[in-house]
Structure 1
Amino acid sequence: MVFEDRFRNHILPDKIHMLNVSFLVPQMRREFGGCGGNIAYNLKLLGDTGYLMATVGRDAGLYLQWMSDNGIPTDYVRVIEAEHTAQGFVTTDLDDNQIWAFHPGAMQLSHLNEVTQARDELARAERSVKVGIVAPDGREGMVRHAAQFAAAGIPFIFDLGQAMPLFDGEALKTFITQATYLALNDYEWQVVQQRTGWSEAQILNHVQALIVTRGAEGSVIHTRGGEIAIPAARPKAVVDPTGCGDAYRAGLLYGLLHGLDWPTTGRIASLLGAIKIESRGTQNHRFDRDEFVTRYRENFGTPLSLATG
């Protein structure tokens, strides 16, 4: 929602303790999002299939139809009839200040889904789970799913993201010892170091790669063999950064699925983030595979061949 004025004109600093304000918002836009949905959407654009494992509420019909229309499987999206789907409400003023409210709803029951059940059902359909990701979700769901991935021997990325306030240092250490890869933005990386007391070297004793994104400055992939700097791809326009991190993570999953080296994987992820930032919302950008290959060559000076699986 867009408030066509400035919050500061209507909020009295000396009356914050008794705040009671209302903003007229003539502009309103509804977008489909969520980390899992965004990652699956971007992975599908590259030609791969990601199986979402999530809980939604009784109001999820439009989103489920959107997923179906875009070829995203919903086999493991469980509808909780007693809840609403997780959703955020944001009002932005003319200075780009924002007031957010977030309702987790059915997301708090994400632990009702089990990695091993999904894996076994897919195996019966002759589809193997090659890699997973534990992205921001309900706290109990993240804890259980990380443990289930580890117990099943399925390599996975741990992505702390917006769930950062939910976990202390000991919980983060547990996630890191279970995960195969750790993906963070630069701020989250500082927080993880502070809460765990672990250095880069100590973390790399547990994970195969530590991926740190730095926005317009690109990203860095830390491995036991050394540090790999990934340049930022050039966007055609900077419109909306929301969801760029999820697009980047879809690129990581694509590279891992197809056994690509880290420099190529990181550049695919970087380009996905740049393409996403050119559009409002998190699932409104589109491209075909030829366009992606062309932009990869233009940005990084090397050819790319996209596989499917």
Structure 2
Amino acid sequence: MGLPEASVSRELLPALADAPGHLLWRAAARVTVELGATLPPGVDIHAYAALLSLAGGTTRSQQAIAERIDVSRTTMVKVAAALTEQGLVERVRNPDDRRSYALTRTPHGAAAARRWRRHAEDLEDALTAGFSEAEREELRRLLLGVIEGELSPETPEPLLESLGFLITRAHARMHRAFAGALEPLRIEPRHFGVLTTVTALGPVAQAELGRQLGVSGASVVQMIDDLEARGLVERRRLETDRRTQVLHLLPEAGDVLAEAARIADETVAGRLGALDAEQARRLVLLLQRFVTAP
């Protein structure tokens, strides 16, 4: 699923609690929440990663940095502009292509990277409170087993040690694969979660749906609008409380959900193919703890 808006919900619906895709979605959402709660103003995790990739006086193009820290070109353009404005990097002629520019870290940038590392470590501690060192390392190894071959060989070591980094990257790849596979059904991964939840709970109020999925009211409204337009759900007002709208599945929803569930199983099998059955189960159990930790 695409990331929900920041939410404090730590509950998992039993129908989705063993689904690796849903767990990665919720885990990535928790990383986003902790980023906002832990990092002080002026500290950007992508900017920190970019500074790490420029360690040792290295000069690199924006695209090369983006590949090493696994962010989009759009994100990298914004990060580079912010770092340049703050005097943490400077633009220089790209040694590999004199027609373009590359970035090099300034002394102020090196100092910022050292300062920001403490905040990155605080983030990791907040994310894994209640985990033993052995459990943190096990989760890190399992996530690396899922995505390591898809990361740049020159990914900075602190990022490879970061659960926040690995979770968000594993989620992004799972979401991209699932979203592509769902296109013929004309739904998205987030809609799959809604249909699964309404099927499990029966007719449900929008507010309860948001609580079960850990998303905001605005996100719920958008998802239900999409599914109503697709002809899969409809809103009905309670006779006893006309202010409350309850969601009901329409006839086509069952067939769409069954096919989407099959696609979800295939996507997970493909994405977790490097893990054996026991490792996959351990990943699910550790992600459950990560999502539900108080």
TM superposition score normalised by structure 2: 0.24
Relative contact order, higher structure (CA 8 A, sep 6+): 2
TM superposition score normalised by structure 1: 0.24
Q: Which has the larger radius of gyration?
A: 2
